[in-house]
Chains A and B, each alone.
Chain A
Amino acid sequence: MAQDVQDKLKILADAAKYDASCASSGVKRSNGGKGVGNATGSGICHSYTPDGRCVSLLKILLTNRCIYDCRYCVNRVSNDVPRAAFTVEEVVRLTIEFYRRNYIEGLFLSSGVTMSSDRTMDLLAEVARKLREEEDFHGYIHLKGVVGASTEALEKAGRYADRVSANIELPLQSDLDRLAPEKSIDEAEGAMRFLKEGIDESRARASRPSIQSTNSGPRRQSRPPRRFAPAGQSTQMIVGATPSSDSSVLSTADRLYRSHGLRRVYYTAYSPIPNAHQDLPLEPRVTDFVGGSPPALVREHRLYQADWLLRFYGFTIDEVVTRGDGNLELEIDPKMAWALAHREFFPVDVNRAPREALLRVPGLGTRSVEKILKARARRRLREVDLRQLRAPIRRVMPFIVAADTWEVAARSLDGEGLAGDVRKDGQQLLLFEAAASARSGQV
């Protein structure tokens, strides 16, 4: 490969790093013993960078030239950054050669919008088509759905990619008006609606039994039609570039999950970019840091936790957002915040409480709860048993009763110091948990 490909790689990977998603999960595909690659279903992280993010896909832009002037974006037309553009063939070669060395699970290709949304979407889809049809590539492909592209172009993208994501970018239309006046939420949701139709239709087709032809003519060997975006769609919201509250962020996410069947909403803390626009917040001062992490990153982490609580733990937005200003607590996780605000719900008896009640205990995740249910079928659980199950004892104990802890719990729940204690613990925890849960969202 030519030297200038390396120069382009430098520019176009750098420009792509503000998109949080690197997931390669959600689809299983075998290659029938031919070609290059497969998809394992759960995704593999091939490396980790010092920002704690995993490297699963070759995440690049086709070009960072762009006609738009979105103020949060490093690639906005008015920004003074070096520009570059890959050819379709160069991206195909890089993907295949990286894949064959086991560096990556596949490709995540996005782009600035150059001539038109349509043309840009078509070029991205063309890379995917070449990889699938000409290189016999069966690894993972994630394409950015270019907002404003025609349904034909989006259809082509969905046909060859595993996942397509149209970014909502900011939680409210008023945020977009301020920072990206050329973009609209309606347009992004229009793309999502179209993608959902394609995904639903393709899924329905796959689950129908194939109709045997009664025609006695020569049987044609035809491949089954490609599944449309089998790993579904996702989106990304930038948090902290505008004053919108966490509750508006979560309401928007909730609406998107419900109406478009998204697999994931990614929250990405607005990250200072070179030559940031004047309308964007500056970096926080060192004294603002919470438990050693910048508040923007803590907020991002809290949003993932809240997102998880909404989707898998039966919480509502009103429950996770406990502050009057519509924001999540920074110092403690949303489950702990809810628990502190609802002490009447506790203590929960680990030996008797139903699953839903156990899931409300700060520190107990879905896995711990499963283990508790299994273990208590054989014996009455004591504190030492919970320790053995690796439950975070200091966090859990104030909110539960075990066979031998009734008094301890009752006393500490009434105590004044509880909120202060968990806050202090929360700060220490942050240092360790933030990264893991940004990926899994486990609380």
Chain B
Amino acid sequence: MRGARSIRIVLDGTLDHWRSVVRGLVAEHVEPERVTWCDGTREQIEPTTAEGGLFDGAPGVGSLVPTAPLEAPALRLPRAFVDRLRVVHCFRSPEMWAVAYRLLFRIVDGERDLLDDPLDPDVVSFHRMEKAIRRDAHKMHAFVRFRRVESAGDRGGERFVAWYEPSHLIVHREADFFRRRFPSMDWSILTPDGCAHWDGAEVSFTSGVPRSDAPLTDELEPYWCTYYASIFNPARVKLKAMTAEMPKKFWHTLPETAQIPELLSAVPARLEEMRQTSRRTADSALPFVPQGVPQGVSVEALREAVSDCEGCELFRDHTRPVLSEGPEGAKLVLLGEQPGDMEERAGRPFVGPAGEVLNAALEVALAGSGLSRADLYLTNTVKHFRHEIDVRPGERGKRRLHKRPTIEHVSRCQPWLDAEMLRVRPEVLVCLGVTAARAVFGPTFRSPLAGEPPVERSSRYALKTVVTFHPAAILRATARAEADRMRDHLIAALALARAGMEGA
């Protein structure tokens, strides 16, 4: 073995075999350049040109079937090198043996700290191979997908079988990860290179099999795929980030990835839908209210425009919004809550049962003043009819039941009221009910007590503003005495408003 003759070494693929061979080579001081490594368990690569010159050319010439030289001394190697070699030897290319021998030779030759040099070309190759193995192992821990099969075994009659295709020869090394993680279930991991099996007592290995030996599906996979599709957020697609961590070569053994094209093609539509619903419910009525001179646009124009309002979700019920009734020069404004069933049908405020209660109260309060309802401006806080559909067994047709608007509906609809008040500029405003009062005085306004007489105060819309009960509340009152008290309060409030108007 002396001289410049090149040596061809055929390995059985195990680290032990390589070790025993290397001990002999080191003992003979065979330079790494003279050795070419063949390993039937790894993909053979062509020798690089730099090394090619050292071969005799004809296959088999100079080849050697190595025997472990018993007399060769054990090598004293740094612990770090041995540990890392245990990882690196899983690398699929036989080039790995060459790099390992070059490093080993130089270490034995005196470069004990060689591995600490991050710029040495051999160290760089070694390090890159180690990184590739660790990444491959990590991906295997992550991407193995077990499928449950019924079996005759005595451990619950089930077995979990996975098909996996690692990039490197890591099945033996990584079987331990799965043994530690799943001690109580029988499992097998099948790969083209070899298979690992666990039966609760020990890990065993068999040779590689084709994919067709693995089960095709699992009852849990539809759940897993549902989970995967649902946890994906279409508002933040980052494909590069996904494929950096889960390259496409892994996809064919991951059941969830089959949906990716479908999920992606649905993104524009899902975003558009989100944009639509967000836009419609995100805006207030403001964009729908015609903007005009500082004194505002005519009430007539507002009445026309309100039918197109989409300032809140109530427009989706396909009801007709009702703005107001009465002259825009009115000095007294009555502000209600929202149109009811009959108001929505008629397109006019206060024409239903509550309207009748109001009319009766107005008759009393306005008596002798020469004023009538036609001289007042009547409007509502919310312009759409918020309701729910009530279907009763045995009754024909559906009933639309009033549903109180929320503070959110009030605030979204307020631009309409702002525009109306800018135009009408009332001297006196009467808030009928707490919804109206909150629109005028803010959401913390508390309902007046029936026993307290109505009072005048100033508000954002009128110097004289009076709060009283809504006529519908009087209709709903259960006790007669209570209804009477509320009606008296309403009449007193309207009378106070009339007086305020005359005094102005």
Measured CB to CB, the residues of A under 8 A from B are 1, 5-6, 9-11, 13-14, 16-18, 30-31, 33-38, 40, 44-55, 58-60, 78, 80, 94, 97-98, 100-103, 136, 269, 271-278, 280, 282-283, 293-294, 297, 371, 374-375, 378-379, 385, 388-389, 431-432, 434-436, 438
User: Which residues of B are found within 8 Å of A280, using beta-carbon distances?
Assistant: 278, 282
Asked whether any CB of chain A lies closer than 8 Å to the CB of B148, the reply is: yes
User: Which residues of B are found within 8 Å of A283, using beta-carbon distances?
Assistant: 235, 271, 275, 278
Q: For residue B280, which residue of chain A has the nearest CB?
A: A275
Complex Cα gap A294–B238 (Å): 11
Asked whether any CB of chain A lies closer than 8 Å to the CB of B240, the reply is: yes
Q: CB distance A101 to B240 under 8 Å?
A: no
User: Which residues of A are found within 8 Å of B180, using beta-carbon distances?
Assistant: 30-31, 38
Measured CB to CB, the residues of B under 8 A from A are 116-119, 124, 138, 141-148, 160, 162, 180-185, 218, 220, 222-224, 226-242, 244-246, 254, 256-257, 260, 263-264, 271, 273-275, 277-279, 281-284, 313, 406, 408, 412
Q: For residue A293, which residue of chain B has the nearest CB?
A: B238
Would you mind naming 12 contact pairs between A and B with Cβ atoms under 8 Å apart?
A13-B230, A34-B183, A46-B142, A48-B242, A51-B236, A52-B240, A52-B242, A98-B227, A101-B160, A272-B278, A378-B117, A388-B124
Q: CB distance B233 to A51 under 8 Å?
A: yes
Q: CB distance B283 to A278 under 8 Å?
A: yes
User: Which residues of A are found within 8 Å of B143, using beta-carbon distances?
Assistant: 46-47
User: Which residues of B are found within 8 Å of A385, using beta-carbon distances?
Assistant: 119
**How many contacts between A and B, using CB within 8 angstroms?**
201
Q: CB distance B230 to A17 under 8 Å?
A: yes
User: Which residues of B are found within 8 Å of A294, using beta-carbon distances?
Assistant: 236
A278 and B284 in contact (CB under 8 A), knowing A35-B183, A271-B236, A431-B240?
A: yes
Minimum CB–CB distance from B249 to chain A (whole Å) comes to 14
User: Which residues of B are found within 8 Å of A38, using beta-carbon distances?
Assistant: 180-181
Minimum CB–CB distance from A165 to chain B (whole Å) comes to 17
Q: CB distance B264 to A50 under 8 Å?
A: yes
User: Which residues of B are found within 8 Å of A9, using beta-carbon distances?
Assistant: 223, 226-227, 230
Q: CB distance B246 to A48 under 8 Å?
A: yes
A274 and B277 in contact (CB under 8 A), knowing A36-B184, A52-B236, A388-B124?
A: yes
Q: For residue B160, which residue of chain A has the nearest CB?
A: A100
Complex Cα gap A36–B183 (Å): 7
Q: CB distance A47 to B246 under 8 Å?
A: yes
A contacts with B: majority SS: loop
Complex Cα gap A16–B232 (Å): 10
A6 and B232 in contact (CB under 8 A), knowing A44-B141, A374-B116, A375-B118?
A: no
Complex Cα gap A282–B235 (Å): 12
Q: Which 10 A-B pairs have the closest CB atoms?
A: A435-B241, A52-B241, A52-B238, A13-B230, A276-B278, A49-B232, A48-B246, A14-B230, A48-B242, A278-B282
Minimum CB–CB distance from A193 to chain B (whole Å) comes to 31
Q: CB distance A374 to B118 under 8 Å?
A: yes
User: Which residues of A are found within 8 Å of B146, using beta-carbon distances?
Assistant: 100-102
Complex Cα gap A371–B233 (Å): 38
Of residues A40, A49, A274, which shows the largest number of chain B Cβ atoms within 10 Å of its Cβ?
A: A49
Among A6, A16, A282, which residue has its beta carbon within 8 angstroms of that of B282?
Answer: A282
A47 and B406 in contact (CB under 8 A), knowing A6-B226, A34-B184?
A: no
User: Which residues of A are found within 8 Å of B142, using beta-carbon distances?
Assistant: 44-47
Q: CB distance A269 to B119 under 8 Å?
A: no
User: Which residues of B are found within 8 Å of A37, using beta-carbon distances?
Assistant: 181-182
Complex Cα gap A280–B277 (Å): 13
Among A103, A277, A389, which residue has its beta carbon within 8 angstroms of that of B224?
Answer: A103
Q: CB distance A13 to B227 under 8 Å?
A: yes
Complex Cα gap A98–B246 (Å): 19
Q: CB distance A435 to B141 under 8 Å?
A: no
A45 and B145 in contact (CB under 8 A), knowing A16-B231, A35-B184, A97-B220?
A: no
A282 and B278 in contact (CB under 8 A), knowing A51-B233, A389-B119?
A: yes
Q: CB distance B240 to A102 under 8 Å?
A: no
A272 and B228 in contact (CB under 8 A), knowing A31-B183, A374-B117?
A: no
Q: CB distance B260 to A50 under 8 Å?
A: yes
Q: For residue A46, which residue of chain B has the nearest CB?
A: B142
Minimum CB–CB distance from A72 to chain B (whole Å) comes to 12
A48 and B241 in contact (CB under 8 A), knowing A6-B222, A102-B162, A297-B236?
A: yes
Q: CB distance B277 to A275 under 8 Å?
A: yes
Complex Cα gap A269–B238 (Å): 14
User: Which residues of B are found within 8 Å of A50, using beta-carbon distances?
Assistant: 232, 237-239, 242, 260, 263-264
Q: CB distance A371 to B232 under 8 Å?
A: no
Complex Cα gap A378–B120 (Å): 10
Q: For residue A279, which residue of chain B has the nearest CB?
A: B282
Since A34-B184, A435-B240, A435-B242 are in contact, a sample of 17 more A-B pairs with Cβ atoms closer than 8 Å, ordered by chain A residue number, is A17-B230, A36-B182, A48-B245, A49-B231, A52-B239, A55-B228, A101-B148, A102-B144, A103-B224, A271-B235, A275-B281, A278-B281, A278-B412, A282-B279, A374-B116, A385-B119, A438-B241
